Chains A and B, each alone.
Chain A
Amino acid sequence: MRMRKEESVDQTAEEAHAYTPGLKVKRRIIVEKTRRLPIEGEVLIEKGAKVDFETIVAKTEIPGDPLIIRADELLGLPTRDVPTFLIKKIGDDVEEGEVIALYSAFFGLVKKELKAPVKGTIESYSDVTGQMIFRSAPIPVVVNAYIQGQIAEIIPREGVVIKTEAAYLQGIFGIGGERHGILHMVAESPDETLTEDKITPEHKGMILVGGNLATYGALIKAIEYGVKGIIVGGIRGRDISKLLGFEIGVAITGEEDIDLSLIVTEGFGEMEMSHRTFNLLKDFDGKQAAINGTTQIRAGVLRPEVIIPYDQQESGSFADEPELSGGMKPGTPVRIIADPYFGKIGTVSNLPVQLHVVETGSKVRVVDVQLDGGEEVTVPRANVEIIEE
Chain B
Amino acid sequence: MSSTKGSSLWQSEKEIDFTSQTAEEELKYILATDVGSTTTKARLFHKTEDGEWRFLVAGESPTTVETPYENVCMGVRNAVREIEELTGLRILSEQGTVKRPHEDGYGVDFYCTTSSAGGGLQMMVAGVISNLTAESANRAALGAGSIVMDIMAVDDERPDYEKIRRIRNLRPDMILLGGGTDGGTTTLVMQIAELIAAARPRPRLGASYDLPLIYAGNKLLHKQIETLLNDKFAVSIVENLRPVLEEENTEPARRAIHELFMEHVMSHAPGYTELMGWTDLDIMPTPAGEGMGMQLIARIENSNVLRVGLGGATTNVYSIFDGRFVRSVSANLGMSYSVSNVLKESGIENIIRWIPFDLDEDTLENLLKNKMIRPTTIPQTLKMLLVEHSVAREALRLGMEHHKTIAVRLKGVRKAQRMIGEMMEYTLQESYIDMMKIDVIAGTGGLLSHAPKRIQSLLILTDAWQPEGVTRFYQDSVFMMPHLGVLSTAYPDIAWNVFDKDCLVRIGSVIAPRGTAKLGEKVFHIQMKMPDNSVVEKDMVYGDIVKIPLGEGLKAEAVLTPARHFDIGAGEGKVLETTVEGGIEGVVVDTRGRPLVIPEDPAERKSTLLK
Return the chain B residue nearest A18 by Cβ. Answer: B376
Interface segment out of the listed A98-106, A121-129, A318-326: A121-129
Say whether A338 contacts B377, CB under 8 Å. yes
Contact of B380 among A131, A173, A359 (CB under 8 A): A359
- Residues in B303-355 with C-beta less than 8 Å from chain A: 313, 332, 337-338, 340-341, 343-345
Contacts of B161 in A (CB 8 A): 65-68
In the complex, which residues of chain B have a beta carbon less than 8 angstroms from the beta carbon of A379? 380
Q: B194 — which chain A residues lie within 8 A by C-beta?
A: 68, 124, 126, 129, 131, 133
Known contacts A1-B381, A67-B161, A68-B160; A250/B376 CB under 8 A: no
Given A129-B190, A133-B198, answer yes or no on A298-B313 (Cβ-Cβ < 8 Å).
yes
Q: Is the CB of A128 within 8 A of B370?
A: no
From B37, B164, B452, give the contact of A361 (CB < 8 A): B452
Interface residue? A267 (CB, 8 A): yes
Which A residues are in CB contact (< 8 Å) with B378?
338, 362, 364, 380, 382-383
Tell yes or no: A9 within 8 A of B by CB: no
Q: How many A-B residue pairs have CB under 8 A?
A: 155
Chain B residues near A364 (CB, 8 Å)? 378
B205 within 8 A of A: no
Q: Please give, as numbers and ranges, the residues of chain B lying within 8 Å of A237 by CB-CB distance.
A: 340, 362, 365-366, 368-369
Beyond A67-B161, A249-B341, is A338–B380 a contact (Cβ under 8 Å)?
yes
Chain A min CB distance to B229 (Å):
12
Bound Cα distance A382, B381 (Å): 14
Inter-subunit contact A383/B165 (CB<8 Å) = no
Smallest distance from the beta carbon of A92 to chain B beta carbons, Å? 17
Residue A297 is within 8 A (CB to CB) of chain B in the complex: yes
**Main DSSP-derived SS at the A contact region:** loop
> Which residues of A are found within 8 Å of B556, using beta-carbon distances?
none
| Contact between chains at A236 and B374 (CB < 8 Å) | no
**Contact of A251 with B by CB under 8 A:** yes
List of A residues within 8 angstroms of B190 by Cβ: 126, 128-129, 131
Nearest-Cβ distance from residue B556 to partner chain A, whole angstroms:
28
In the assembled complex, the CB of B365 is this many whole angstroms from the nearest CB of chain A, namely: 4
* Residue contact A267 to B373, C-beta cutoff 8 Å: yes
Q: B379 contacts A297, CB within 8 Å?
A: no
- Are B453's CB and A382's CB within 8 A? no
CA distance A223 to B363 in the complex (A): 26
CA distance A267 to B375 in the complex (A): 12
A275 part of interface (Cβ distance < 8 Å):
no
Question: Among A128, A250, A267, which residue has its beta carbon within 8 angstroms of that of B332?
Answer: A250
Q: Is the CB of A236 within 8 A of B340?
A: no
Q: Are A338 and B374 in contact, CB atoms less than 8 angstroms apart?
A: yes
Please report which residues of chain B, range 369-398, place their CB below 8 angstroms from some CB of chain A when the two chains form the complex. Answer: 369-370, 372-385
| Chain A residues whose C-beta falls within 8 Å of the C-beta of B119 in the assembled complex | 299
Kindly provide the distance from the CB of B69 to the nearest chain A CB, expressed in whole angstroms: 13
By a CB distance below 8 angstroms, the chain B residues around A202 are none
B199 part of interface (Cβ distance < 8 Å): yes
Q: Given A129-B187, A238-B365, do A249 and B198 touch, yes or no (CB 8 Å)? A: no
Q: Is the CB of A249 within 8 A of B344?
A: yes
Contact with B along A127-139 (1 / 0, CB 8 A): 0111101000000
Q: How far is the CA of A131 from the CA of B370 in the complex (A)?
A: 50
Give A301's nearest chain B residue, CB to CB.
B375
Of B199, B340, B362, B381, which contacts A250 at CB under 8 A? B340
Interface positions of A from 155 to 196, Cβ below 8 Å from B: 172-173
B186 interface residue per 8 A CB criterion:
yes
Specify the chain B residue showing the minimal Cβ separation from A366: B380
A382 to B370, CA, bound (A): 14
B186 touches A128 (CB 8 A): yes
Chain B residues contacting A172 (CB-CB under 8 Å) are 373-374
A1-B381, A238-B362, A268-B373 known; A250-B337 Cβ under 8 A:
yes
- Give the bracket for the number of chain A residues in contact with chain B: 35 or more
How long is the Cα–Cα vector from A299 to B345 in the complex, in angstroms? 23
Q: Closest residue to B333 on the A side, CB-wise?
A: A249
- How distant is the Cα of A358 from the Cα of B382 in the complex, in angstroms? 9
Q: Is A76 part of the contact surface with B, judged by Cβ < 8 Å? A: no
Bitwise, A332-365 to B at CB < 8 A (1) or not (0) is 0000011110100000000000000011111010
Q: Is the beta-carbon distance between A249 and B338 smaller than 8 angstroms?
A: yes
Whether a CB of chain B sits under 8 angstroms from the CB of A248 is: yes
* Inter-subunit contact B198/A123 (CB<8 Å): yes
Closest partner residue, chain B, to A135 (CB atom): B198
> Does B191 touch A at the CB level, under 8 Å?
yes
Q: How far is the CB of A352 from chain B (nearest CB, A)?
A: 15
B537 within 8 A of partner (CB): no
Q: How far is the CB of B420 from chain A (nearest CB, A)?
A: 15
Could you tell me the distance between the alpha carbons of A315 and B552 in the complex, rounded to whole angstroms? 71
Q: Which residues from chain A contact B383 at a C-beta distance below 8 Å?
A: 339
B375 contacts A383, CB within 8 Å? no
Question: How distant is the Cα of A283 from the Cα of B200 in the complex, in angstroms?
Answer: 51
| Residues of chain B lying within 8 A (CB to CB) of residue A153 | none
Task: Confirm or deny: A54 has a beta carbon within 8 angstroms of a beta carbon on chain B.
Answer: no
B302 within 8 A of A: no
- Provide the residues of chain B in CB contact with A131, threshold 8 Å: 190-191, 194
For residue A20, CB closer than 8 A to chain B, the reply is: yes
| Assembled-state Cα–Cα distance A247/B199 (Å) | 30
Whether A66 lies near B199 (C-beta < 8 A) is yes
Nearest opposing residue in chain A for B377, CB measure? A338
Asked if A300 CB lies within 8 Å of chain B CBs, one says yes
Bound form: Cα–Cα A1–B382 in Å: 12
Chain A nearest CB from B135 CB (Å) reads 22
Check B195 for interface membership: any CB of A closer than 8 A.
yes
A126-B190, A249-B343, A383-B377 known, 13 other contacts, Cβ within 8 Å: A66-B161, A67-B161, A68-B161, A126-B228, A131-B191, A247-B344, A248-B340, A249-B341, A251-B340, A267-B374, A338-B377, A359-B381, A383-B380
A-B residue pairs in contact (CB < 8 Å), sample of 14: A66-B199, A133-B194, A173-B373, A236-B365, A237-B366, A247-B340, A248-B340, A249-B345, A337-B370, A360-B385, A361-B452, A362-B385, A362-B450, A382-B377
The 7 lowest CB-CB distance pairs between A and B, nearest first, are: A249-B341, A361-B452, A269-B366, A66-B198, A237-B365, A268-B369, A268-B366
Q: Which residues of A contact B (CB under 8 A)?
A: 1, 19-20, 63, 65-68, 123-124, 126, 128-131, 133, 172-173, 236-238, 247-251, 267-269, 295, 297-300, 337-340, 342, 358-362, 364, 379-380, 382-383, 385
